Structure 1
Amino acid sequence: MARTLLYIDDDAALAVLAARKLKASDFIITHAADPEEAISLLKAGTFDAITLDHYMDGVTGLDFLSQARDMELPPVVYVTGSDDASIAVEALKNGATDYFIKSTGDEFWPLLANVVEQAIESAALKRAKAQADREIVLAKERAEILLAEVNHRVANSLALVASLIRLQISSEPDQAVKAALMETQARINAVAGMHRSLYTSDDVRVVDLDIYLERLVNELRGSMGESESDRPIDIELDAVQLPSDRAVSAGMIVTELITNAIKYAYPDGSHGRIAIGLKVVDAENALIVVEDDGAGMPEDGKPKGTGLGTRITRSMAATIGNGIDYIRKERGTRVEVHLTLV
């Protein structure tokens, strides 16, 4: 397939020779005697490549490159009879694709044709790469939009389920069943909160754990029928990012611990404070702390209730770090969850 070549050189006789010699390599030559004519031809049509002579009458090929700086040029092969390397360097710095040294031998034209062909192929590869990069970016954006929409819909669906459970709680006369439903609702809210954090995040791969936990605690207090005046919860959270799958485990653990503190730390309507903390220990570790100043752990060390919450927290703590510690205090209980960040 013939390629079109804009041949910029002030030597008309050499241009005629170029047209004849390069025809054998399937090039169709259009001659321009100076930069102004070349720019006019480029505006009027398209070319597969340009050969640009350095020395022309009163100007150089560098002048053309300067004048055409704002144009989208095809690959430019800079042709010079000088062996001064600085000329080639300047040409490449100003937009030339390659350069070629003039000679008087018979091998000059086939070699020039080969250099031009390589420049065309290189430009085609760069365009293909740029197109592939654009498609990758668009695909990534589409995937992120789709994933955000999925997270949004999942969060809404979970919120609907939690609302249905809330309605069932309000009409359930059995207090034990009501308590179990409230725990289930809290667990669902923990998962829904993680999905809300994902679809509002710039990076769906990670969750701002501090923001997620603060929102989760406030929602949890509301779902348990508590208010700030009923049960103050101190929140002190360092900024931590965590992969989404591990963040939901952390959220479930905090949900269970806060729920247990609300239910069991202050029996018979007594009052006290609950605190949750997220502390960065070092570059690889953090600590989630939930503590109260209430009744403390049972003497036998056995969990109150069914023990399901304790089993959940221990199992999930093992997946996000180095386990969980229950620490007796003079008054109340402190629970430390060891979180691995990397």
Structure 2
Amino acid sequence: MAAIRILYVDDDDGIRRLASRALTRLGYDMTGAGSGAEGLERAGAERFDLIAIDHYMPGMDGLATLTALRARGDATPVVYVTGSDEGRIAVAALKAGAADYVVKTVGADFFDLLAASFATVLERAALEAGKAAAEAGLRASNARLEALLGEVNHRVANSLQVVSAMVRLQVSALADPQARGALEDTGRRIEAIAQVHRRLYSTGDVESVDMHEYLRALIDELGETLSSDVAPRRLRLVAEPIRLPTDRAVSLGVIVTELVTNSCKYAYPTGGGEVRVRLAEAGGHFELVVEDDGCGMAADAAPRGTGLGQKLIRAMAQSLQASFAYDQDHAGVRATLRAALA
């Protein structure tokens, strides 16, 4: 193992020689510099594990030398040496970037104190370097995992797109209106989930989804598939930029898809109409409201279709640990869901 290299900056030749002799016996590789300017020159030309700088030097004193070192980006640990026990000098040195300070005294005790300070500062520097390396490794690992998750989401979105295309092909081959409708509903449910995965791989955040952007894309997609010249539908979205974890975003997207689909199918049997979707945050919770001004729904009415949509809504609401209810006083249909953000 290579010896630890120390640069000792002090204008006193005798102190430098004594320090070099005492610390070399302890295994350090000592290099001396007789002035602040020489110390800066040596520090710039060679690599040292630690630099000791004396305070009282003619011309460029210790504080000026330390400041110049830090100004050029030299992060080598510095032990500041002063012949004065004035606290203000020690404080100034520590503020300027010194790792420790030692008060110079007459006798061998000074070199013992100096060696103890070196050992402490070097140990602390090694711990900090290890911590920095561990943090850098963790950041690199997280970046790799995020890239991997992004790729996974990309592939999942592509796979769901293929499934959706297969469903559409099957729809076009069916003559039974009920079977066609059921498959079209399935396609919309798949698209709601695919939209989440598209958001995840295209935004760089693989842990949460911006619900405003997600719902905007989802509502636009539903508007294209559920509206026609015969029965035009106006879908209106008002959503705050709430971020939800991925699994909660999927559940909410399925709920919105089912509620909007039901309103578009059944609210306006004689013509076009508007369906409104609102999402807002309130006190650690979010509230989703989907409503129309159509013919309404009786409290004890049987499902108009297979009933699968209502079962999905209840299942997704349960996964969100959400409260879900229909407003019986509203002229059309108004469904409200309230759940925690996380």
- Normalised to the residue count of structure 1, the TM-score between the two structures is 0.92
Which residues of 2 match residues 283-294 of structure 1 at below 5 A?
A: 283-294=283-294
Q: Which residue of 2 aligns with 1:324?
A: 324
Letter in 2 for 1:32: A
Equivalent-residue separation in structure 1 for 2:331 and 2:15 (angstroms): 99
Distance 1:299 1:112, change over 3 A: closer
Q: Please say if 1:57 is aligned against 2:58.
A: yes
Equivalent-residue separation in structure 2 for 1:30 and 1:279 (angstroms): 67
Q: Which residue of 2 aligns with 1:172?
A: 174
Letter in 1 for 2:284: E
Q: CA offset at residue 318 of structure 1?
A: 2.2
Partner SS, residue 200 of structure 1: helix
Equivalent-residue separation in structure 2 for 1:71 and 1:196 (angstroms): 43
Distance 1:331 1:18, change over 3 A: closer
Q: Which residue of 1 aligns with 2:302?
A: 302
Q: CA offset at residue 71 of structure 1?
A: 4.1
Q: Please say if 1:276 is aligned against 2:284.
A: no
- Normalised to the residue count of structure 2, the TM-score between the two structures is 0.92
Q: Which residue of 1 aligns with 2:111?
A: 109
Q: Which residue of 1 aligns with 2:154?
A: 152
Q: Which residue of 1 aligns with 2:120?
A: 118
8 A Cα contact 2:37 2:60, kept in partner: no
Distance 1:334 1:130, change over 3 A: same
Gaps of 5+ in 2: none
The ranges of structure 1 where at least 4 consecutive aligned residues each deviate by more than 6 angstroms after the TM superposition are none
Letter in 2 for 1:157: S
Equivalent-residue separation in structure 1 for 2:139 and 2:330 (angstroms): 57
Equivalent-residue separation in structure 1 for 2:30 and 2:229 (angstroms): 83
Q: Which moved further from structure 2: 204-213 or 74-83?
A: 204-213
Q: CA offset at residue 227 of structure 1?
A: 6.8
Distance 1:251 1:76, change over 3 A: same
Q: Please say if 1:191 is aligned against 2:186.
A: no
8 A Cα contact 1:189 1:220, kept in partner: no
Deviations 1:261-311 (A, max 9, x none): 2222233x533222222233x222332122222232257422111111111
Distance 1:59 1:254, change over 3 A: closer
Q: Which moved further from structure 2: 220-229 or 294-303?
A: 220-229
Q: Which residue of 2 aligns with 1:66?
A: 67
Equivalent-residue separation in structure 1 for 2:299 and 2:34 (angstroms): 100
Q: Which residue of 1 aligns with 2:34?
A: 33
Equivalent-residue separation in structure 2 for 1:14 and 1:278 (angstroms): 74
Equivalent-residue separation in structure 2 for 1:71 and 1:206 (angstroms): 38
Partner SS, residue 48 of structure 2: coil
Equivalent-residue separation in structure 2 for 1:209 and 1:73 (angstroms): 45
Count of aligned residue pairs for this structure pair: 340
Equivalent-residue separation in structure 1 for 2:315 and 2:323 (angstroms): 8
Q: CA offset at residue 249 of structure 1?
A: 0.5
Distance 1:74 1:237, change over 3 A: closer
Gaps of 5+ in 1: none
Distance 1:190 1:227, change over 3 A: farther
Equivalent-residue separation in structure 2 for 1:327 and 1:57 (angstroms): 86
1:247 to 239, 246, 249: 249
Letter in 2 for 1:106: A
Residue identity (%): 42
Partner SS, residue 304 of structure 1: coil
Equivalent-residue separation in structure 2 for 1:298 and 1:73 (angstroms): 74
Q: Which residue of 2 aligns with 1:23?
A: 24
Q: Please say if 1:14 is aligned against 2:15.
A: yes
Letter in 2 for 1:49: L
Q: Which residue of 2 aligns with 1:266?
A: 268
8 A Cα contact 1:8 1:32, kept in partner: yes
Equivalent-residue separation in structure 2 for 1:119 and 1:337 (angstroms): 59
Distance 1:226 1:217, change over 3 A: farther
How big is the alpha-carbon RMSD for the aligned residues of Structure 1 and Structure 2?
2.1
Q: Which moved further from structure 2: 269-278 or 42-51?
A: 269-278
